[in-house]
Amino acid sequence: MEDDQTVSGLVQLARKPLPERQALLTSALSLPTLDPLAAVSTLRREHPDLDPSLCSALVTQQQLLLAGADKGLIDANGLWMTTPVGLQQASRPQVALRRASMLAVAGVRSVVDATAGIGVDSHAFAHRGMHVVAVEKDPVTSEVCAANLTATLSEIDAPANVINADATEPDLLASLAQHLPAPVAVFVDPSRRGSTRPVDGSRARPERDPERWSPPWSFVDSLRSHFDFIAAKAPGSFVPSAAWACEWLGVRDHIVECSVYSTAPPTFVATHQATLLSSTLDSEITYAADGPPAPSHLSSVPPSTGPLEDYLGEPHPVFRHSLAALCGTTAHVVHPDSHWITSAQPTIEGVRWYRLLQAVPVKQIASAAHAHGIDAVAIKCRESRRSISDLREGIGLPDGNRYAVVVAAGLDDALLVERVQ
């Protein structure tokens, strides 16, 4: 985590009365953003009685809150306190509320959040009316979690307790659950990053092996036989075994997570599904996950293939396991190894659509573009072994937004297209 002075200041801040803590965080957000020393000087001038360690912690909070603005940690419920690792690991509040809603409609009355972090998911569970026990093994992060839940739940009657403990301790979760109203769910969000940053100061790389997560996936798996309901959060690249239900979630252009459940919630359209949420989360598009390149236990109906039609579609990445359901009877993939789809009309939701102008060998793209009056193109070649820079050099046209060159798997020609939506 941060240096000792900042950690000391963070604990001080977490223990401040709620009105004072929120006022200090609000003040910190107005500090100069490019010069930490200037920010500290401004704080000391405006608040001469503040401890130096508290000033350091507030400047760190400012930097973290601004860095995590896209996660929604500055919202109507107040300002969330966080840590560098907590920010990386935290769920988006809106996504956490969606997960909490899934548990609520499944009849869950209480949740033991086994890996509470800064408390975003615990807040969501409590906000949906469930009793919550938040377990966090890091003592400083547990202080932050308690402060956040006090702040964000201050306006509602939502019971939430924070415990500084290791959820993998034998019988701990069971002992906590037995004092809660049933049915009880356990939620686990394993840490997928190291506790220390690389020596160059960059973000710790995500750990791809589920057995090297903390706690490991085998621990999550072992909970199934002991509790009414299990929910877990995993990276968007994760594919659980057939015993689990899951939902891949997309926001904007990204797959933000794979939400995993011991039993499919009643609102699921299929045991495995993918959902694209709007940036404000007021609308969603969901398809069953039923086709390649999903593993065999998710694959029931492969997407159909066929010739190129008038429009070329690029499905959102979250639908990579849902091509058959997405295509339905009005579209098909351009090749069995490709995620690009084609249709006579650009009507399927969750897809970025292009009008097909011409299929042409890559070496002839520049002349074809000139013939269409095009002087700039985007290059889309994720399915090609050739890099964007190599293709850009060969095509000789600058980057653009309206037109694109698509190099799709299995097709001999490149596709010159015009974006329609």
* Residue-wise pLDDT tens digits, 40-89: 888 888 888 999 999 999 999 999 988 887 787 776 556 789 999 999 99
Residue identified by tokens 């360690």 is 53
Tell me the pLDDT tens digit for each residue of 227-241: 999 999 999 999 999
Which residues, at least 6 apart from 411, have a Cβ–Cβ distance to it below 8 Å? 334, 335, 338, 359
Q: How many Cα atoms within 13 Å fall on the side-chain side of residue 8?
A: 8
Predicted confidence at residue 122, as pLDDT, reads: 96
Beta strand pairing status for 254-261 and 245-251?
antiparallel
| Nearest C-alpha neighbor of 83 from the set 170, 30, 13 | 13
Q: What is the mean pLDDT of residues 310-317?
A: 97
Token output for 56: 């350091």
- Please name which of 264, 190, 176, 268 lies closest in space to residue 227, comparing C-alpha atoms: 176
Rounded to whole angstroms, the maximal C-alpha distance in the chain is 73
- Of 219-233, 277-291, 338-352, 379-393, the range with the lowest mean pLDDT is 277-291
Most confident of 79-88, 222-231, 280-289: 222-231
Flag whether pLDDT at 329 surpasses 80: yes
Task: Give the number of other CB atoms < 10 A from CB of residue 364.
Answer: 15
Whether the pLDDT of residue 276 is over 70: the answer is: yes
146-204 residue pLDDT tens: 999 988 887 777 778 999 999 999 999 999 999 999 999 999 999 987 544 443 444 55
Rounded to a whole number of angstroms, the distance between the first and last alpha carbons of the chain is 44
Query: Does 303 score more than 90 pLDDT?
Result: no
Q: What is the CATH superfamily name and number for domain 88-288?
A: Vaccinia Virus protein VP39 (3.40.50.150)
In a 3-state reduction of DSSP, which class is residue 64?
A: helix
Q: What pLDDT was estimated at residue 96?
A: 94
Separation between Cα atoms, residue 25 and residue 349, nearest integer Å? 41
Structure-model confidence comparison of residues 255 and 39, the more confident one:
255
- The per-residue pLDDT of the chain, averaged, comes to 89
Q: Which residue has the tokens 């990204």?
A: 254
pLDDT at 5: 75
Asked whether residue 293 carries a pLDDT value surpassing 50, the answer given is no
Whether 32 shows a pLDDT value over 60: the answer reads: yes
Residue 119, CB-side half-sphere exposure with 13 Å CA sphere: 31
Residue 291: its pLDDT value, please? Answer: 47
Domain regions of the chain by residue span: 4-67, 88-288, 311-419
CA–CA distance, 419 with 235 (Å, rounded to integer): 30
Alpha-carbon distance 44 to 46, whole Å? 6
| Contact assessment for residue 47 and residue 27, using Cβ atoms and an 8 Å cutoff | yes
User: Cβ(403)–Cβ(377) under 8 Å?
Assistant: yes
pLDDT tier, 38 (very low <50, low <70, confident <90, very high otherwise): confident
* Integer-rounded Cα radius of gyration of the chain: 25
Q: Which residues contact 259 (CB under 8 A, 6 or more apart)?
A: 95, 98, 99, 102, 231, 232, 233, 234, 246, 247, 248, 249
Measured between alpha carbons, how far is 59 from 36 in angstroms, rounded to an integer?
Answer: 7
3-state secondary structure of 170: coil
Q: Report DSSP state, residue 252.
A: T
Tell me the pLDDT band of 349, cut-offs 50, 70 and 90: very high
Query: According to the model, what pLDDT value does residue 151 have?
Result: 85
Look at residue 407 in the predicted model and tell me its pLDDT: 95
Higher pLDDT, 80 or 244: 244
In the prediction, which pLDDT does 77 show? Answer: 54
d(CA 215, CA 213): 5
Query: Which residues make beta-bridge pairs with 232?
Result: 188, 260
Quickly tell me which residue has 């938040």 as its tokens.
134
pLDDT of res. 307: 95
Question: DSSP 3-state helix, strand, coil percentages of the chain (rounded to 5)?
Answer: 35, 20, 45
Dist CA 376 CA 137 (whole Å): 53
Share of the chain above pLDDT 70, in %: 92
The pLDDT value given to residue 313:
97
For residues 78 and 224, which has the higher predicted lDDT (pLDDT)?
A: 224
**Residue among 167, 164, 271, 165 at smallest CA distance from 216:** 167
pLDDT above 90: residue 273: yes
Retrieve residue 362's tokens.
């890559």
**For residue 23, what are the contacts with CB-CB under 8 A and spacing of at least 6?**
none
d(CA 326, CA 397): 33
Lowest mean pLDDT among 95-99, 147-151, 344-348: 147-151
